[in-house]
Structure 1
Amino acid sequence: MRNGNVLISGGGIGGPALAHWLVRAGFTVTVVEKAPAPRPGGQAVDFKGETHFTVLTRMGVLDDVRRLRTGGVDQEIVDAAGRRLAVMSGEFTGGDLEIRRGDLSRVLYERTAPHCEYLFGDSITSLTDTRNGVHVTFERSAPRTFDLVVGADGIHSSVRRLAFGPEADFVRHLGYHYALAEVDEDFGPPSMYNEPGRMVAVGGPKSPAFFVFASEPLDYDRYDAGQQKDILARAYAGMGWRTPEIINAVRRSGDVYLDSLSQVRIDRYSAGRVVLLGDAAYGNTLGGFGTGLAMVGAYVLAGELAEAAGDHRAAFAAYERHMRPYAKIAENGNAGPFMAPPTKARMWARNLVFRSSFLLRMMIKMGDSFATDIDLKDYPALTK
């Protein structure tokens, strides 16, 4: 397998980023994605520091990302009467460069679609690792054999479940859920409102409503928008400020996404010819580093595969050796209590951070140091 045939599960961010690099290194790539097309919208994601910008520059997409940047707008934290309590600065929320997740996904898809195969509206149903490859069956497509399979399919990774074991063995629920809903109404300047254990935020036009709330694990169909809207309505019943208006707008919306805040803990990124990338390997929902980790991980994994000249075991070991220390930030922290503090006292303390320029600068500086904490190799096969 010098320039092999690779299947990537997941067409969001990490999957297309890896496809870009693998095609450049001479691999044949297929990407399978359960959604029927690239997903638009979604939350804003950000890049910060030299490491992220080096990867974007080497990919040749930095100008595209800058063209589509959302700007990192300041957001007011308000009380029930709409009075300002603090301001969450755009510098804090948006990093050095912010872009909607759907826009970034579209940029990566458009860069890779002419050079690799995309199977939309499909998913992997079984993986059989053999001496000569991985035999893969699909929900819709005919079975095929690939030299390698990459799970870049998120915290609820099907590839990880099929190759490593049940999700419960690797994914830890952090006690919160979050939701994004595309709403047509303009609720004015970006604002965020809290009551203990609940947060709702709205932005300007074309910005999704955003929710974080304390909750035990929920049993629901992640592809059933109606169920998710019902859960939100129950979770936010009786909440003040403009919450009833926002929930009504969500009821009228066509697009809603609800998921748990969860953290992945796994002792190895690969099993045989199968390897994990991004949130499937080192996810921490809303941790602030997921997109950067996926983009850097895609570059490192592709580079090591290109350098290993067909030895996937050596490539996977080198990928893990480089990424494990860098991805350690995803093993700690829980954004839930920060976004939706469980008590009024914790709400007050959180708001104090945004009223103190010193504390805010310290948090931003810490985030920047985590984002650059890797010695990024130069892989000639990827940058020639």
Structure 2
Amino acid sequence: MNGSDVHSTLREMWDTRPARPREGRQIAGVAAAIARRYDIDPVLVRVGFVVAAFYGIGAALYIAGWVLLPDEPGPAISSGRRRLKPWLLILLGVAAVAGLGGVSHSHGGVLLPLAAVAALLFLLHRSRSGRGIAGPGRPAPTPEAPTTPTAADGSPQNAGVTPPAWDPLGAAPFAWDLPEPGPVPAAAPPRRSRVTPVTLAVALLAGGVTALVLLAAGGLTDLPVLFGVLLSVLGGGLVVGAFTRSGRGLIPVALLVGALTWGALAAPLDRIAAGPPQELQLAPTTPAALAPQYRNDVGSIELDLRQMDLTVPAGAPVTPVATSIDAGLGSVEIWVPRDADVRFTGESGLGSVEFDDQENDGPGAKLSVNDLGADGIASGRPIVLDVHAGVGSVEVHRG
């Protein structure tokens, strides 16, 4: 492929760009237009926009399609729906700005996802450019009207012949030699697609084989591998179904398996299987009695530092009192003195992180606080806390 081929393909993509249909659209019809142009399932295109949204460019790409693809000619859309269009555009614009602003510019940032989308569109057009509806630069052909054969004097060749019953007006004398039409056969019912049952059967078989291998090798700790195999099979079925306009029954199953996969990745399964739960209750009163690290695979950790001596002798350097806590599955509660200076960093893979009246929750919850206490004055030895929990809550209270 040389430069002229690329240029001609890009020119053809622009000349045959599809119009956004007025029927079957969810927001502005961008996904439906692309699907009709290349004769693929619009669900696949919408899933593509959702995936692109995770890379921060989904909303921006949708707005670009909204602007560049013309609206399909036809009756005006109802006024109620048209009033929503500016609001949808504003919401998509906010999402685009937020997404692009949150994308890290390291390792390609926005450029790599944009290049990947451009390459996919280019390859899609190269392989399926002849399919779908005609674009603005390629009008649909008009069928030719049938002609009636005539004799040398200009009269119809079948003049004087009695027209058959199916043509009582004699409008098609050129076809009077056709037999009388028989009863119209009933249309055969459409054949039901087998993409969904076949994909589910293959996923069940692949999942069973993978489960047997994992049980023989290590069991519960490799559960994300099992879900990954199931997602791969379901994803392949969705791709096949997108080109055959079937397989939509796989979508809820794929969403469920995706949620289970995320949960298996967030939960520290190796630590859950490590041993029975333990409840740790600690109350050191001197910096020497405070361990540099506390770890508990399953169970709660309670650390009380309210009786900790944080005074600094005259002339002595101010050194922090530091410890870290690593919890697999369970809650972490810490109490610190009311006026103590605290530098806190907390993270929970699935749960919440709270420091006094500040809180963050949800998947991957994080919170960093540098607090001088109730007196608002830097005094005494500061407490440095670094807490990580796999699944559970992290709470720091002042006593």
TM-score (norm 2): 0.20
**Structure number having the greater strand percentage:** 1
Higher relative contact order (CA 8 A, sep 6+): 1
Whichever of the two has the greater Rg, that structure is: 2
